C-alpha cells in the first residue's frame, strides 16, 4: 500500500509537464529550430509506438476478445458515454470556453484509455488486473482508428472538422510502427527487458517534446493572452467535474451490469482514465502548429486530476478488499 505522502504529492510527471510548459513560455522554439523540433517529435512518436507494439504480449490482445462483457462495458464508457457527454456539454454551454478549448475537451472525450495508470490503479484497488491489461491494450489499439473518427464526427456536429489527411497520418505514424514493433517482438523483447528504462524514457520524453513544441507554437500565437489564468482554472474545474461524473457512471455500469467486484474495479479505472500518451502525439499530428497547444491543455489538466483523485479512490478501495481475497 503506498504511503499517505505518496498519494498526497502530485505525480512527478505532472511536475515535468508543468516545467515543460514553463520552458516553452519563456523560451519558445521558433524558425528552423521549430522545424527540427517537429521532425524530432514525429520520429519520437514513431519510436514510442514501435516500442509499445514490441512490449505488448500477444496474449493480452487475444484475451481482449474473450471476456466480452467486461470489455464491452469499458468500450462503451470510453468511446460512447464520454463522446456523448462532451457533445452534450458543448451544446448546453457553448459560451463557457473558446472554440479551441471546446475542441480540446471533445478530443479528450474521444481518447482511448491509458495503459500503465489504469492497470496500476486497478491492481492497487484489488481489481481484475488481467482484464485491465487486455482492456487497456485493446482500447489503445482501437483508439488509433476510433479517436480521429469520433473527433471528426463530434466536430462535424459542431459545424467544424479535421482534415482527412490527419487521420491517415495518425494511422501511418501510430498504427504502422505499433504493428511493426509487435511483429518484431521476439527480437525486441530481450532488448526491452535488458533496458527497462528505455520505454519509460521514450514514453515520457516523447510527450514532453510534443508538449514543448505545441506550447511553443501556441505561445507565439498568444496562448496566455487568449486563455488567461482565470479561464485555465475554469477548465481545470470543468474536467475535474467530468472526471467525477465518469467515476460515477462507470461505477453504476459495474453495479447495474452485475459484474463481480474485481471486474467493477477494472471498469471503474479503465473506463475513466484517458491516455495522455496517445492524446498528446495525436494532437500534435491532427492539429499542427499553435492549435495543438490549445487542444492539449484540457488533456493535461484531466491527466493531473485523474492521477491525483484516483490514487485516493484506489487506495480506499484497496483497504476494503475482503481479507480472503488479499494475496
Q: In whole angstroms, what is the distance from residue 273 CA to residue 143 CA?
A: 13
Residue 320 lies in a domain: no
Residue 80 lies in a domain: yes
pLDDT of residue 3: 44
98 SS3 class:
coil
Measuring CA to CA, which residue among 152, 168, 127 is closest to residue 267? 127
Total domains in the fold of the chain: 1
Q: In whole angstroms, what is the distance from residue 55 CA to residue 186 CA?
A: 10
Residue 6 lies in a domain: no
Mean residue pLDDT across the chain: 83
Residue 72 lies in a domain: yes
- Confidence check: pLDDT of 5 > 50: no
- Give the residue-averaged pLDDT of 193-204: 80
- Confidence check: pLDDT of 124 > 50: yes
pLDDT of residue 258: 93
Q: What is the pLDDT of residues 252-282, one digit of tens each?
A: 999 999 999 999 999 999 999 998 888 888 8
Query: DSSP string of 142-202?
Result: HHHHHHHHHHHHHHHHTT----HHHHHHHIIIIIHHHHHHHHTHHHHHHHHHH-THHHHHH
Residue 17 lies in a domain: no
- Confidence check: pLDDT of 4 > 50: no
Residue 268 lies in a domain: yes
In order of 54, 272, 273, the CA distances from 70 in angstroms are 25, 14, 16
**Domain with 303 in it: what CATH number?**
1.20.1530.20
- Confidence check: pLDDT of 61 > 80: no
Domain that holds residue 168: 43-315
Q: What is the pLDDT of residues 215-256, one digit of tens each?
A: 888 888 777 777 888 888 999 999 999 999 999 999 999 999
Measuring CA to CA, which residue among 205, 206, 219, 210 is closest to residue 30? 219
Length of the chain as a residue count: 327
Residue 219 lies in a domain: yes
Amino acid at each position: 500500500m503506498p504511503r499517505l505522502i505518496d498519494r498526497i504529492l502530485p505525480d512527478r510527471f505532472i511536475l515535468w509537464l508543468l516545467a515543460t510548459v514553463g520552458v516553452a513560455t519563456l523560451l519558445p522554439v521558433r524558425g528552423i529550430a521549430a522545424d527540427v523540433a517537429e521532425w524530432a517529435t514525429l520520429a519520437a512518436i514513431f519510436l514510442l509506438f514501435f516500442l509499445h507494439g514490441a512490449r505488448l504480449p500477444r496474449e493480452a490482445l487475444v484475451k481482449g476478445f474473450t471476456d466480452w462483457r467486461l470489455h464491452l462495458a469499458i468500450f462503451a464508457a470510453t468511446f460512447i458515454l464520454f463522446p456523448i457527454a462532451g457533445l452534450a456539454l458543448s451544446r448546453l454551454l457553448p459560451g463557457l470556453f473558446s472554440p479551441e478549448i471546446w475542441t480540446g475537451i471533445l478530443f479528450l472525450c474521444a481518447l482511448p484509455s491509458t495503459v500503465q495508470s489504469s492497470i496500476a490503479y486497478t491492481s492497487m484497488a484489488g481489481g481484475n488486473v488481467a482484464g485491465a491489461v487486455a482492456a487497456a491494450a485493446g482500447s489503445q489499439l482501437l483508439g488509433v482508428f476510433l479517436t480521429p473518427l469520433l473527433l471528426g464526427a463530434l466536430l462535424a456536429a459542431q459545424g467544424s472538422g479535421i482534415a482527412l489527411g490527419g487521420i491517415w497520418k495518425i494511422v501511418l505514424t501510430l498504427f504502422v510502427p505499433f504493428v511493426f514493433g509487435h511483429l518484431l517482438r521476439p527480437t525486441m523483447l530481450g532488448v526491452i527487458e535488458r533496458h527497462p528504462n528505455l520505454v519509460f524514457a521514450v514514453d515520457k520524453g516523447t510527450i514532453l517534446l510534443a508538449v514543448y513544441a505545441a506550447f511553443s507554437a501556441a505561445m507565439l500565437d498568444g496562448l496566455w493572452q487568449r486563455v488567461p489564468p482565470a479561464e485555465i482554472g475554469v477548465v481545470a474545474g470543468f474536467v475535474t467535474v467530468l472526471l467525477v461524473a465518469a467515476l460515477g457512471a462507470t461505477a453504476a455500469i459495474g453495479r447495474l451490469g452485475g459484474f463481480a467486484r474485481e471486474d467493477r474495479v477494472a471498469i471503474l479505472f479503465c473506463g475513466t482514465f484517458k491516455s495522455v500518451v496517445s492524446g498528446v502525439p495525436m494532437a500534435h499530428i491532427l492539429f499542427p502548429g499553435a492549435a495543438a497547444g490549445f487542444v492539449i491543455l484540457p488533456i493535461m489538466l484531466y491527466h493531473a486530476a485523474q492521477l491525483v483523485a484516483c490514487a485516493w479512490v484506489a487506495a480506499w478501495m484497496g483497504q476494503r478488499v475482503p481479507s480472503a481475497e488479499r494475496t
